[in-house]
Structure 1
């Protein structure tokens, strides 16, 4: 813990990694290991590898405790084989269910290399070319910058140089869009840099690249990944959605660190943007993925991707401008789906992933034939990166740097920075002040061409924001600005909404800083959705959730839900096809009309799971 009176120089040193090794040695003693290099190889023999990893378990368990990480799954590949495959801690803290090598975690953005890999196989088949304009295969593709939309290539998309910032709020939650519709929204999103001028990380560009793969192949992105990666490698515990993961079983629960306390986080399903971050997998399955990549695209005698194509995916292209003072690292670049730098002078390709309550990291030292994947059910933790470096140092015969101890110190420093920023934000609040209008005058539907609809609804004497089906309570901040308060879903916590008024009788628009690198996104008032006042007529009747009978009936002209094990109460519509349970905001119920493949159904979203009940014939 950093003393309250610690100087700014120490804090800066911690945040930039400039901490003496002995200052971070509280966690464990660094043991000198003999070098494993022989004729340029990082690993000399199975026995030496096993010796190099001896004692790692104790380090990991101590680091998990200090970094407040409930559970962890690790796989290490060297010498063409899995040399470590293990689970640590709990996948479910409350029920004391352990993490195993088969426990499923979301990969988040560590999905991106899978998308690049699939596109690489399509390039091998001459179905795509990374360096020709996307318009040649997707004529309808447009961007805000017309010239960029005309010239952008798959390589531009996959190396984050489109000029577009993240704009992640467009898809976060459940926008109700299809993948094609989301790609169509790109022309309505303002860039913050010139085309090809600099690195700006964009999940949306990977969604667009995945959509290109779908168009040229005639298959869904999911089917492409299944046929070209999962089935050949036997990755049987890898899926494409939260629902699929839960059907497979043994799924880790998400947790976040709140004021040094581990608390549950809501599950987040990101199926819409799956090409950017939608895979769920286990350490055991990722071991197969690592072995194939380190074997230059071969698996059990079969070449899944051309060796030259795979090499090209990991070639540095776009400088990230992510500065580092760490002598072990070089300047980071982004290749085609991979971050690329050098670690202790050795080529490193890697990708992390962060989803609510989870952190993942997949790392390759391709020339040394070393691969490491770490999955944690803690949001934003530095443990995976520290553990990868620790394992790499052991296998490379390096010592002297306590990465795990330093990660713990950095966490403490980060808490200090957060506390300081919170104090700064509080000082910017102008009090006393009051809104110009009664809260009812702010309520309504607001819309933006790129971001879609945002609802402001009355919730008793207060207001609530509903965006992409995420419900966020609003508290008055000052004048016409409202702040998103704490709730079960903290996605937009502390975001400030500022309303504009007409003649002081109604709010005409609301500006929301959804994209930090751009001007606030302006939503203009629109007519309220006509169907948002009644539960759909077809949504009444009996449904079946496994052996559980679910019913929606009328009571005093109101829709009433009875779903044993989920909720019982009045359905209060908040959208054309969605309602919440009166008195239980965390529970949301959606009606899904019949499709060609399934009957009408009810979908229940709780903080713990997604449940589906099909209509009883």
Structure 2
């Protein structure tokens, strides 16, 4: 028995010694030999203008190369230093600033968000007293995307943007469901600004770009546009042709996605994460935060294996998506902004990082290329990622045409607006979004939205389509967006609202018609002041500072808002207004315009 035990111990020790022997690192660079042929095919099959790639092992760049064109029309090639917008791949940068601040003792990720950012206020008290910084970092606040709020109504004023949050209705309870929300990353960037007393842009530059030698990177699209090795933005039109589109300036929502970078610079970023937050031996991101951020914080979806049984689970860390890719732990984040897509990924257990940046809008190429490279690096049987995606793209284009045809079939022909077109002109607003103005010119309705002038083409009844406008001569252009706006009529017969389907299909966001304020001086307002007889009842019009007030016996004082043409809306009574009759510079009468009729009072 003793001999058997001795033999068992000897074998165990031998096995332990073997397991502790340092395994030889695979020749990853050799495994990538000849990959260009496949990557060029992705370029052609996915109809991409261009993209760049970088692959790192620990702190070494194994491979970096550009494919296709940064300027498709002039055939200027992509290089590993070509600048692309990386969109939401920026989120890990913003969250990492807070990871640094936690180590510096400036905050804790489990602090209430509102304690660090007084400008941030949620709609309900339980949200203000419950939502932590960590909740915002992993998208579990109960708020859905509300992306059209910042995308269609962008502004460089971050205080203005963050104030919209308090009007956003949650659609689920706190921490109950993962829901992507860019405003929560704006808030994180603003928390960093408040604590450091530096702009988010300066924090990114000083905390990451400089120490990581990301000398090509910036946070401003105008800086990118001036760069001689910057990519132009492209999309596929309805005929799958590569088409140049305008740059989108995301500066206001910068912390959620305004970094512009190149493959070589981003290689340093992923290498830092692989090396537990160190770059060239110096800690840039706290190691404890690196582990926290790349560990599961919230379930995105069930992640049960589907078509590919060795691709499992779908979780979210802090600014990173987490997945199991064919037996390898994958940390990644995509990015999309007009004309650009990105995927930044690393396999912490394998010390491998992959960056793919492209100038195609909403591109599948970034994931395809990452997966092709991953299969080669890990010596896995290849999956036809590109062929499968090409088939899906062809099916999607066919489906788009069917959707267009079905949308056209929903149109009720030979109908007319219920009002003259000029009646739809006005200011419309929703506090969770912003305001937009509809104007009437040459018997045509226009609006200015998402930074562009847009034609409102009659669709049916009081529903209109958003259509592009030729920038040269303001003439309408036909396109296929089928983005609809539905005007609503009040009981008094006037247009009172405009509804647009925003974030959730089938759920319209209502923009109430707003009074267009006209600023008048005290002298201008004095002509309206006086007592008016309304069927034996005295109604008083008086000034409170520079505001015209209305006093009806037995009712509270009403503040009015000048909307021009001697007309004033009651500030707190929607649908109610007063219009003065002025002769020779003095008011002779006032007419009360309200849903149940119009009533005129003569001046005493």
User: Which residue of structure 2 lines up, in the alignment, with residue 28 of structure 1?
Assistant: none
User: Which residue of structure 2 lines up, in the alignment, with residue 13 of structure 1?
Assistant: none
User: Which residue of structure 1 lines up, in the alignment, with residue 577 of structure 2?
Assistant: none
User: Which residue of structure 2 lines up, in the alignment, with residue 374 of structure 1?
Assistant: 356
Alignment counterpart, residue 425 of structure 1, candidates 399, 407, 422: 407
Q: CA deviation at 1:420?
A: 2.1
Q: CA deviation at 1:238?
A: 0.6
Distance 1:435 1:345, change over 3 A: same
Contact 1:448–1:524 (CA under 8 A) maintained in structure 2: yes
From the CA coordinates, give the structure whose radius of gyration is larger: 2
User: 5+ unaligned residues in a row in structure 2: which ranges?
Assistant: 1-18, 472-477, 520-604
Determine whether 1:49 maps to 2:28.
Answer: yes
User: Which residue of structure 1 lines up, in the alignment, with residue 232 of structure 2?
Assistant: 253
Q: CA deviation at 1:328?
A: 3.1
Alignment of 1:408-557 (within 5 A): 408-487=390-469, 493-502=481-490, 506-516=494-504, 519-528=507-516, 530=518
Aligned equivalents of 1:273, 1:220: Cα separation in 2: 13
Distance 1:309 1:518, change over 3 A: farther
The superposition leaves residues 269-302 of structure 1 with CA deviations (integer Å, 9 ceiling, x where unpaired) of 1011111001000111111111111111111121
SS at match of 2:329: strand
Contact 2:375–2:382 (CA under 8 A) maintained in structure 1: no
Q: CA deviation at 1:172?
A: 1.3
Aligned equivalents of 1:491, 1:121: Cα separation in 2: 47
Aligned equivalents of 2:115, 2:221: Cα separation in 1: 34
Aligned equivalents of 1:351, 1:459: Cα separation in 2: 45
Aligned equivalents of 1:175, 1:392: Cα separation in 2: 37
Q: CA deviation at 1:138?
A: 2.4
Contact 1:361–1:375 (CA under 8 A) maintained in structure 2: yes
Contact 1:165–1:517 (CA under 8 A) maintained in structure 2: no
Contact 2:154–2:250 (CA under 8 A) maintained in structure 1: no
User: Which residue of structure 2 lines up, in the alignment, with residue 316 of structure 1?
Assistant: 296
Aligned equivalents of 2:124, 2:177: Cα separation in 1: 15
Aligned equivalents of 2:425, 2:145: Cα separation in 1: 28
Contact 1:109–1:353 (CA under 8 A) maintained in structure 2: yes
Aligned equivalents of 1:470, 1:492: Cα separation in 2: 17
Determine whether 1:99 maps to 2:81.
Answer: no
Aligned equivalents of 1:346, 1:65: Cα separation in 2: 29
After superposing the two structures, state which structure 1 stretch, 467-476 or 205-214, moved more.
467-476
SS at match of 1:198: coil
Contact 1:359–1:376 (CA under 8 A) maintained in structure 2: yes
SS at match of 1:368: coil
SS at match of 2:226: helix
Q: CA deviation at 1:263?
A: 0.9
Q: CA deviation at 1:248?
A: 3.4
Distance 1:479 1:174, change over 3 A: closer
Determine whether 1:180 maps to 2:180.
Answer: no
Alignment counterpart, residue 49 of structure 2, candidates 64, 70, 76: 70
Contact 2:42–2:369 (CA under 8 A) maintained in structure 1: no
After superposing the two structures, state which structure 1 stretch, 48-57 or 377-386, moved more.
48-57
Aligned equivalents of 1:40, 1:373: Cα separation in 2: 32
Determine whether 1:202 maps to 2:165.
Answer: no
Aligned equivalents of 1:39, 1:496: Cα separation in 2: 65
Contact 2:323–2:330 (CA under 8 A) maintained in structure 1: yes
SS at match of 1:367: coil
Distance 1:41 1:101, change over 3 A: farther
User: Which residue of structure 1 lines up, in the alignment, with residue 101 of structure 2?
Assistant: 122
SS at match of 2:437: strand
Contact 1:348–1:366 (CA under 8 A) maintained in structure 2: yes
Contact 2:82–2:231 (CA under 8 A) maintained in structure 1: yes
Aligned equivalents of 1:43, 1:220: Cα separation in 2: 46
Distance 1:176 1:400, change over 3 A: closer
Alignment of 1:280-299 (within 5 A): 280-299=260-279
Contact 2:218–2:224 (CA under 8 A) maintained in structure 1: yes
The superposition leaves residues 123-169 of structure 1 with CA deviations (integer Å, 9 ceiling, x where unpaired) of 11111211121122224431112211221111110111111111112
SS at match of 2:399: helix
User: Which residue of structure 2 lines up, in the alignment, with residue 192 of structure 1?
Assistant: 171
Contact 1:316–1:334 (CA under 8 A) maintained in structure 2: yes
Aligned equivalents of 2:105, 2:245: Cα separation in 1: 44
Two-structure CA RMSD over aligned residues (Å): 2.3
Alignment counterpart, residue 244 of structure 1, candidates 205, 223, 248: 223
Contact 1:354–1:380 (CA under 8 A) maintained in structure 2: yes
Aligned equivalents of 2:326, 2:193: Cα separation in 1: 39
Aligned equivalents of 2:185, 2:205: Cα separation in 1: 18
Contact 1:73–1:283 (CA under 8 A) maintained in structure 2: yes
SS at match of 1:233: coil
Distance 1:488 1:133, change over 3 A: farther
Q: CA deviation at 1:187?
A: 0.1
Distance 1:486 1:322, change over 3 A: farther
Q: If the length of structure 1 is used for normalisation, what is the TM-score?
A: 0.76
Contact 2:364–2:389 (CA under 8 A) maintained in structure 1: yes
User: Which residue of structure 1 lines up, in the alignment, with residue 382 of structure 2?
Assistant: 400
Number of residue pairs the alignment of both structures matches: 492
After superposing the two structures, state which structure 1 stretch, 484-493 or 213-222, moved more.
484-493
Contact 2:218–2:261 (CA under 8 A) maintained in structure 1: yes
User: Which residue of structure 2 lines up, in the alignment, with residue 611 of structure 1?
Assistant: none
Contact 2:91–2:257 (CA under 8 A) maintained in structure 1: yes
SS at match of 2:211: helix
Q: CA deviation at 1:432?
A: 2.2
Q: CA deviation at 1:505?
A: 5.3
Contact 1:484–1:492 (CA under 8 A) maintained in structure 2: no
Aligned equivalents of 1:487, 1:362: Cα separation in 2: 36
Contact 1:160–1:201 (CA under 8 A) maintained in structure 2: yes
User: Which residue of structure 1 lines up, in the alignment, with residue 340 of structure 2?
Assistant: 358
Determine whether 1:80 maps to 2:59.
Answer: yes
Aligned equivalents of 1:356, 1:400: Cα separation in 2: 31
User: 5+ unaligned residues in a row in structure 1: which ranges?
Assistant: 1-37, 532-617
Aligned equivalents of 1:39, 1:404: Cα separation in 2: 39
